[in-house]
């Protein structure tokens, strides 16, 4: 996944793949976990708030260069200088409440939608150039096509329109909804338009979402899965996914390739009023509010998996609108509390700036130039990535052919997209995925179901699909062992080692501690390097503490989700993420653990380190933690996206030097195995050495076979 994200406490949700066809009933879309919410702000910081506006704001939009924010108010549009966080001029329109705003990508125009009014405005002078007539209700959505030649409008008169802007505005109609339209959006390639519709005053009526061929105005997809009015729509940058918000408190996600829904995000406690997709192509930003019960929330989450990133109560009243800057470093929210807030989301832009710059957004190469993002939040990670590229590696490294084993995890396509990008993020150059062997888990249902989808995704990227690991090894220099199931890793790895192919082994490294030991022993025997790590090891705040920012750490706790898979020890399957963060901060030296359950029924494992140091792993809905050191306290455990891990993998492939030692990796798995043993012994302390000794004996038997 591009982008850099970290997980804070939040309740959620999610979703099965290929749950139902587009004609499915709303109650057929299932979520897989509950909604235990403990939202925190984490690294998302409020950088500005414009209060005491003359009326409550109903829309917000960033200009193409991210220098200007437009705010829709009653009979006016208020402009904001984003760099200086100051109010600029106001543009007056007799349009009632300005319900929608959009800047054209070429920077020339601002579209304004109000009551029976849609106007095309000169973005530089503020002059009204054209009034687009014919709307018989409030214009609730305006959106420019990516080439700035067309404007799409949504209206409460139940009609969408696509306007040709030159030489004179002319429109064709999108007819087919039976309710007022509430939003409209273009796909990034300009071929599709999506609309949302529904009537908030008729709560028993379902919401509607339609996808249209922009050239012919014909309907391609119809979804009626919201139990109440749909309020917003947004495409992913690659055009594969569509998201829709609704009064039913959900955000639905649809796969437009298959024409089927994936499921819904149910983390909000009030109606979801708008949704946007971050430029990283993986992250959704949604807002809620509007009833007496619940919170007015800004939430950030991974839309393919439902993984929560951020949740915070952003306004004192209903949040009406949200916009994400084109460089991804700012989010703007508008509320009925007569305020508009700017939020620093620079943590999502790690590894993103170069790819965003390629789209032509002038400020994207330096987010700090157009926002208040601190240099150490944007520039430092990019510099660090560059260092990973150049240190101990040739100036122009040979392009290594990468093979992937196992297409049953989202990591596989995410890594491939990063490595095969036309302009890879700094530090990820010199490796390209050329072949993949799809087969992964033999019996885990969720993994098996993903293989066909990810196989097709690899084919679309031009990556060859082969029938065996042996065939794969003929075509590649290095291997990503991505099988979601750790149990077959040892058998899958052996042919790679015998062929002399360095290998990154995704989490969990194995299905047992004994197999993990066998893997490293086999690596030593064949003299071929391997390494394994969760992406959480490369969270920048955890790495800063490991590097000594607060001196020696005496106490630390980390959290992560810990969904269980019966075929694996409890923490191996997903708790590994939080445990990896814990060891990143604490380092080696854990001697014993005690596993217990806290008052909420969640897993808690307390480890005792040499030197009277303590490290605690806690099951939780987000990725967070705190470390106490000799020089103070610091936040740890953040998730900063996959790119830092991919960069470390690329460096490993070019240098043969693993960034994590076998000894530390084995101690991590011994920690988790000892936690399982403590569970079997009703919470008694278990030493890591005791489980290691038993596992060594089992590994020796495996190696002797």
Mean pLDDT of 689-698: 95
Average pLDDT, the chain: 86
Report the half-sphere exposure of 350 (CA within 13 A, side-chain side): 27
Residue 76, Cβ neighbours under 10 Å: how many? 21
Q: How many residues does the chain have?
A: 705
Q: Hey, what are 682's tokens?
A: 């009703």
Provide the Cα torsion 267, 269, 271, 272; round to 10°: -30
236-240, 290-294, 677-681: least confidently modelled range: 290-294
Question: Could you tell me if 478 and 431 are in contact, meaning their C-beta atoms sit under 8 angstroms apart?
Answer: yes
pLDDT at 331 over 50: yes
Instruction: Spell out a b/e string for 308-334, using b for 16 or more CB atoms within 10 Å of the CB, else e.
Output: bbbbbebbeebbbbbbbbbbbbbbbbb
Packing angle of the helix pair 489-498, 513-526 (nearest 10 deg): 0
Count Cα neighbours of 81 within 13 Å in the Cβ-side half-sphere: 7
Under a CB-based contact definition with an 8 Å cutoff, are residues 469 and 493 in contact?
no
Instruction: Please write the tens of the pLDDT for every residue from 410-421.
Output: 999 999 999 999
Which of 461, 349, 365 has the alpha carbon at shortest distance from 413? Answer: 461
Q: pLDDT > 70: what percent of the chain?
A: 87
**What would the mean pLDDT of 586-613 be, rounded to a whole number?**
95
Q: What is the distance between the alpha carbons of residues 629 and 321, in angstroms, rounded to a whole number?
A: 41
Instruction: For residue 418, give every residue at least 6 positions away whose Cβ sits within 8 Å of its Cβ, in sequence order, or none.
Output: 2, 351, 424, 425, 428, 642, 643, 646
- The CA radius of gyration of the chain, in Å to the nearest whole number, is 26
Residues 99/139, Cβ–Cβ less than 8 Å: yes
Question: Interhelix angle for 688-704 vs 513-526, to 10°?
Answer: 60
* Among 44, 45, 40, residue whose Cα is nearest residue 624: 40
What are the DSSP calls for 168-205, one per residue?
S-EEEEE---SS-EEEEEE-TTSSEEEEEE--TT-TTS
- Answer yes or no: are the C-beta atoms of 295 and 43 closer than 8 Å: no
CA torsion sign for 284, 287, 288, 290 is negative
- Cα dihedral: 315, 560, 300, 329 (round 10): 100
Pairing of strands 170-174, 160-164: antiparallel
Give residue-wise pLDDT tens across range 142-152.
999 999 999 99
- The answer to whether 501 and 528 are in contact (CB under 8 A) is yes
* Element holding 600 (H helix, E strand): none
Per-residue pLDDT, averaged over 138-165, amounts to 95
pLDDT (mean) for 66-95: 94
What's the mean pLDDT in 46-52?
A: 92
Give all strands of the β-sheet with 251-255 in edge-to-edge order.
230-235, 241-246, 251-255, 260-265
Q: How confident is the model over 42-57, as a mean pLDDT?
A: 87
Residue of 80 and 25 predicted with greater confidence: 80
pLDDT of res. 397: 54
Question: pLDDT tens for residues 538-559?
Answer: 998 999 999 899 999 999 999 9
CA dist 271 and 253 (Å) reads: 16
Tell me the mean pLDDT in the region 365-369.
Answer: 30
d(CA 153, CA 221): 19
pLDDT, one tens digit per residue, over 505-521 is 999 999 999 999 999 99
């Amino acid at each position: 996944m591009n982008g850099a994200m970290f997980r804070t406490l939040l309740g959620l949700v999610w979703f099965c793949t290929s749950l139902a066809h587009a004609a499915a009933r709303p109650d057929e879309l299932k979520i897989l976990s509950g909604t235990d919410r403990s939202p925190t702000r984490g690294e998302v910081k409020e950088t500005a708030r414009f209060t005491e506006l003359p009326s409550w704001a109903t829309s917000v939009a960033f200009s193409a260069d991210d220098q200007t924010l437009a705010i829709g108010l009653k009979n006016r549009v208020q402009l904001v200088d984003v760099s200086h966080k100051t109010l600029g001029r106001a543009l007056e329109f007799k349009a009632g409440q300005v319900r929608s705003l959009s800047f054209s990508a070429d920077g020339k125009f601002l579209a304004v939608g109000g009551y029976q009014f849609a106007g095309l405005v000169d973005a530089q002078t503020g002059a009204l150039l054209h009034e687009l007539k014919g709307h018989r209700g409030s214009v609730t959505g305006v959106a420019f096509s990516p080439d700035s030649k067309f404007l799409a409008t949504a209206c409460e008169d139940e009609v969408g329109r696509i306007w040709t802007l030159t030489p004179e505005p002319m429109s064709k109609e999108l007819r087919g909804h039976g309710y007022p339209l509430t939003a409209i959006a273009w796909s990034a390639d300009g071929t599709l338009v999506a609309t949302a519709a529904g009537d908030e005053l008729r709560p028993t009526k379902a919401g509607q979402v339609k996808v249209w061929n922009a050239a012919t105005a014909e309907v391609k997809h119809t979804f009626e899965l919201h139990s109440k009015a749909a309020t917003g729509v947004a495409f992913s940058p690659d055009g594969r996914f569509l998201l829709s918000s609704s009064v039913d408190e959900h955000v639905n996600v649809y796969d437009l390739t298959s024409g089927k829904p994936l499921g819904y995000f149910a983390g909000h406690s009030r109606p979801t009023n708008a949704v946007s997709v971050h430029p990283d192509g993986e992250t959704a930003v949604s807002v809620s509010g509007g009833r007496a019960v619940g919170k007015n929330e800004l939430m950030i989450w991974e839309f393919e998996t439902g993984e929560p990133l951020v949740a915070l109560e952003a306004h004192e009243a209903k949040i009406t609108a949200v916009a994400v800057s084109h460089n991804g470093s700012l989010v703007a929210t508008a509320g009925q509390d007569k305020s508009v807030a700017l939020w620093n989301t620079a943590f999502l832009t790690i590894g993103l700036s170069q790819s965003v710059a390629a789209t032509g957004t002038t400020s994207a190469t330096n987010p700090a130039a157009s926002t208040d993002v601190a240099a150490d939040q944007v520039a430092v990670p990019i510099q660090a990535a560059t260092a990973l590229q150049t240190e101990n590696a040739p100036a122009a490294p040979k392009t290594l052919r990468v093979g992937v084993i196992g297409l049953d995890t989202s990591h596989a396509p995410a890594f491939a997209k990063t490595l095969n990008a036309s302009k890879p993020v700094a530090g990820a150059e010199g490796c390209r995925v050329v072949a993949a062997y799809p087969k992964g888990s033999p019996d885990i249902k969720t993994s098996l179901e993903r293989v066909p989808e990810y196989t097709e995704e690899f084919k679309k990227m031009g990556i060859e699909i082969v029938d065996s690991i042996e065939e794969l090894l003929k075509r590649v220099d290095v291997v990503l062992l991505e099988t979601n199931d750790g149990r077959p890793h040892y058998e899958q790895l052996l042919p790679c080692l015998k062929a002399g192919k360095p290998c990154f082994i995704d989490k969990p490294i194995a299905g047992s501690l004994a197999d993990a030991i066998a893997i490293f022993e086999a690596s030593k025997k064949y003299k071929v390097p391997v390494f394994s790590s969760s992406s959480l090891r490369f969270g920048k705040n955890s790495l800063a503490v490991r590097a000594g920012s607060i001196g020696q750490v005496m106490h630390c706790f980390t959290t992560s989700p810990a969904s269980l898979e019966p075929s694996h020890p409890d923490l191996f399957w997903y708790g590994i993420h939080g445990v990896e963060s814990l060891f990143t901060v604490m380092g080696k030296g854990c001697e014993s653990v005690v596993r217990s359950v806290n008052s909420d029924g969640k897993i808690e494992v307390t480890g005792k380190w040499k030197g009277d140091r303590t490290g605690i792993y806690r099951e939780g809905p987000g990725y967070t933690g705190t470390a106490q050191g000799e020089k103070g306290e610091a936040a740890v455990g953040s998730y900063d996206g996959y790119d830092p891990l991919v960069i470390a993998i690329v460096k490993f492939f070019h240098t043969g030097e693993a960034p994590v030692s076998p000894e530390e990796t084995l101690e991590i798995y011994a920690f988790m195995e000892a936690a399982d043993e403590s569970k079997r012994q009703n919470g008694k302390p278990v030493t890591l050495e005791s489980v290691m000794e038993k596992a060594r004996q089992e590994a020796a038997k495996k190696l002797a076979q």
